[in-house]
Amino acid sequence: MACDGSAWLAVTSGNGVDAVAAAVDAGVALPTRIAVVGAATAARAAAHGWVVDHVSPEASADSLGRTLPAGPGERVVAAVAELASDDLARALADRGIEVTVVTAYRTVIPDVSGADLDRVVAADVIVVTSPSIIDRLIDLVGEADLPALVAIGGTTASAVVRHGRAVAAVADEPTIDGLIDAVVRTLDP
């Protein structure tokens, strides 16, 4: 990952923070300023000892791209998942900001047994924490019926709907507590 000459590092998830932190441990220098998506990602960055200069007001890549306090011609390195949408890069580019997108991590399909899949489809609720998670879940189960799907936020809920699946609930805030509340609402309406 090359950050040389960039004014900002923009990170869209806790997994992205962890991946960048590993690169820093290997000798990659961080840009002067750091921006993240939402409070949970900010907390993960703080756990690595980073000072976060900007947290998007909404927990979405688009919000980060629209609100990052950079100007035209400034350089931003966007550390994202391999399957991330282009929302962050597009929002930055639309503002005249030079963006370099770096794949910070990949979501891979684990080895799953038939018994594991049976347990998944027999569950009462599945919590979906990113668009790539629902993509991988659908890769695994195909057209099988799924239990209630609870999404961590609007972007993830949209990904669930794109797969033709219903969203039982969306967390009011994209945190563990928000997800727990959404699961409780789903199980005990």
Q: What total number of domains does the chain contain?
A: 2
Residues 86, 159: one domain? no
Give, rounded to a whole angstrom, the gap between the first and last alpha carbons of the chain.
46
| Domain of residue 67, residue span | 8-105
Q: Answer yes or no: do 32 and 101 share one domain.
A: yes
Residue 118, domain CATH = 3.40.50.10090
Model pTM greater than 0.85? Answer: no
Residues 144-170: tens digit of each pLDDT:
899 999 999 888 999 999 999 999 999
- Predicted pLDDT at 3: 55
Domain end call among 81, 105, 129: 105
Contact 8, 68 (CB under 8 A): yes
Q: What is the pLDDT of residue 69?
A: 93
Per-residue pLDDT of 60-84, as tens digits, reads 888 999 999 998 989 999 998 887 8
Of the candidates 174, 140, 139, 136, the one whose C-alpha atom is nearest the C-alpha of residue 155 is: 174
| DSSP secondary structure, 103-142, as one string | EEE---PPP--HHHHHHHHHSSEEEE-SHHHHHHHHHHHT
Q: Is residue 118 located within the same domain as residue 98?
A: no
| Residues 94 and 178 reside in one and the same domain | no
The phi and psi torsions of 90 (rounded to 5 degrees) equal -65, -45
Mean pLDDT, residues 93-118: 88
Question: Could you tell me if 35 and 98 lie in one domain?
Answer: yes
On whether both 69 and 158 belong to a single domain, the answer is: no
Position 97 scores a pLDDT of: 94
Residues 94 and 182 in one domain: no
Which of 73, 105, 137 terminates a domain? The answer is 105
Model confidence at 90: pLDDT above 90? yes
- Domain annotation covers residue 83: yes
